[in-house]
Structure 1
Amino acid sequence: MTVSHVHSLQAPPHWRRIDLIADLHLQASEPRTFEAWAHFMQHTQADAVVILGDLFEVWVGDDAVDTDPFLQQCLQILQNVSLTREVLFMHGNRDFLLGRTLLEKCNIQLLPDPICLHWGDLAYLLSHGDALCLDDVAYQSFRQSCRTQEWQQAFLSKPLALRQALAREMRNASQAAQAAQTEYADPDTALSLQWLANCQASTLIHGHTHRPADHVLDQNHRRMVLSDWSLDHTPQRAQVLRLYADGDMQRLQPTQACA
């Protein structure tokens, strides 16, 4: 996926801290992860929280909220938090059907993927990361199809129960494919560098791969991978990447981000 033009996000001058999270995969069957996320959102010391995709384990359409108390609770938290700090959201590969109208109702800003965050003299390229994983050929083919308006309209026109059943089937197939893999796709270095050059940024920040690490791409560019959140299984993992106005950054436990 080549990108000739990268959208820009200008951080207000009064922001001093920005927290970035991704891949929480919130679901009612994993209450510890949900509780950690809810506490973090309500008590973080950051001026803004940027969610780089896969906040939810699955999203089959905004109408699912009407009959799902768990989703209602999650959206209520987002709406409440947006009264005291900025909350920004980027679609992931699990929740790309989350609608703009619903996000606006919660006062959440929807970000295109990718987007360049400008903060004073600093620039960071933000992405969910899935579009960069070119070696995952089967997924890239599916991604190209499911991100079209035609595919989404056809899927959302199906009854809710059928959409939920189809989502379970796709998830089971995905888990089986992952279990059979011996190697996992990482973002393509050449494409990552191309994206960075297009927005004149030196740092790419993304999620998706669930392999938090800092990678040197070349002498002037790096790629920083966000942690997924999984507190209902072992090993447990949850991490926040905090950016500071002076250019510093830290990887924090959610409780540390609230202190």
Structure 2
Amino acid sequence: MPPIAEWRADPRWSAIDLLSDVHLQAGMPRTFEAWRRHLLHTEADAVLMLGDVFEAWIGDDARFDGFEAQCCEVLREASRRRMLAFMPGNRDFLVGDELLADCGVHRLADPTLLSAWQHRLLLTHGDALCLSDTGYQQFRHQVRNAGWQQRFLSQPLADRQAQARAMREASAEHQAGMAPGLWSDVDDAAAAAWLQQAAASIMVHGHTHRPGRHVSADGRTRYVLGDWDFDTTPARARALRLLPEGLAALDLASAR
């Protein structure tokens, strides 16, 4: 398993929001607006974004124009109001330090042990734990390689945009041919091993788009964040809020 980073919350805070899988893209303006509204107006002192905030991120040099520039402006404004942190997902693993520094966002390693008040939560995007999807795991190993990333980022922006579009279309086609119940899920044994290594009893992750709560026989609990979509009916957006007394579910779609 990867090394576990640790991040300690400010004990003076009263709430921390955990979200993932917003999949921001220009073709989903209502989803963008819901994300913008939440980051700017949430009652939480911090928002931790656990990957796939963007449907695709092809390099920090894309942040100066168009939709990407709008997203960055939201992050800058929100970071002046509360602490923001970002963990890379399978769609936006190329988010770099330039973007985060420009927007005032902290980086979270995957996985990270969150220590807040008396709680210890292991945070991860979740894709590294979907071990049954061997094809994806091979792809993940390839694109997380520093050499691959350097070669990709050295290409012109237009070429990277075309490649990202082709990969998204291939992914959508692959997923469309499978019933949701057959989509890859987190490996329970691997998740338990990670929790044991972290000396934690709670894991929070996204990636699978299957929001829920899973309790193992030994009492360890795995919370799954939901994806966001306000551009179809019914809208959906499931997140979690960590309070001093524990985790609370947030159904942001019904709270509009």
TM-score, length-scaled by structure 1: 0.94
CA–CA distance in structure 2, aligned partners of residues 242 and 248 of structure 1: 6
Residue of structure 2 equivalent to 1:174: 171
Retained in 2: the 8 A contact 1:42–1:81?
Answer: yes
Q: Deviations over 1:143-181 (max 9, x none)?
A: 001001000001011111111111111111111111222
Q: Residue type matched to 1:28 in 2?
A: A
- Whether 2:12 is the aligned partner of 1:14: answer yes
**Distance in 2 of aligned mates of 1:217 and 1:185:** 19
| Structure 1 residues 179-198: Cα deviation after superposition (integer angstroms, max 9, x where no partner) | 22241111100110011011
Offset from partner CA, 1:23-70 (integer Å, 9 cap, x none): 01111111110111111111000000000001111111111123x321
**Is the Cα–Cα contact under 8 Å of residues 59 and 94 in structure 2 kept in the other structure?**
yes
- Identity among equivalent positions (%) equals 48
Q: Does 2:155 correspond to 1:158? A: yes
* 1:136 aligned partner: 133
- Paired with 1:85 and 1:56, the residues of 2 have a C-alpha distance of 20
- In structure 1, which of residues 82, 87, 96 is the aligned counterpart of residue 84 of structure 2? 87
Find the residue that maps to 2:49 and give its secondary structure.
strand
- The residue aligned with 1:227 is 226
1:34 to 32, 36, 41: 32
Separation in 2 of the partners of 1:249 and 1:230?
21
Shift of 1:201: 0.8
Structure 2 unaligned blocks of 5 or more = none
- The structural deviation recorded for 1:80 is 1.0
For 1:211, give the aligned amino acid.
R
Alignment partner, residue 23 of structure 2: 25
Verify the 8 A CA contact 1:17 1:244 in the aligned structure 2: yes
Equivalent residue of 1:224, what SS? strand
Question: Quick one: which amino acid aligns to residue 62 of structure 1?
Answer: D
Please state if 1:253 is matched with 2:252.
yes
Q: What RMSD in Å do the two structures reach over aligned CA positions?
A: 1.4
Q: Which residue number in structure 1 is paired with residue 207 of structure 2?
A: 208
Paired residue for 1:127?
Answer: 124
* Large movers: runs of 4+ above 6 Å: none
Deviation at 1:250, TM superposition (A): 2.7
| Equivalent residue number for residue 105 of structure 2 | 108
Per-residue CA deviations over 1:85-121 (Å, capped at 9, x if unaligned) read: 1001000111110111220121100100000001122
Aligned partners of 1:245, 1:255: CA distance in 2, in Å?
24
Structure 1 residues not aligned, in runs of 5+:
none
TM-score (norm 2): 0.95
1:242 touches 1:252 (CA, 8 Å); kept in 2?
no
Q: How many residues align?
A: 254
Contact 1:40 1:254 in 2 (8 A): no
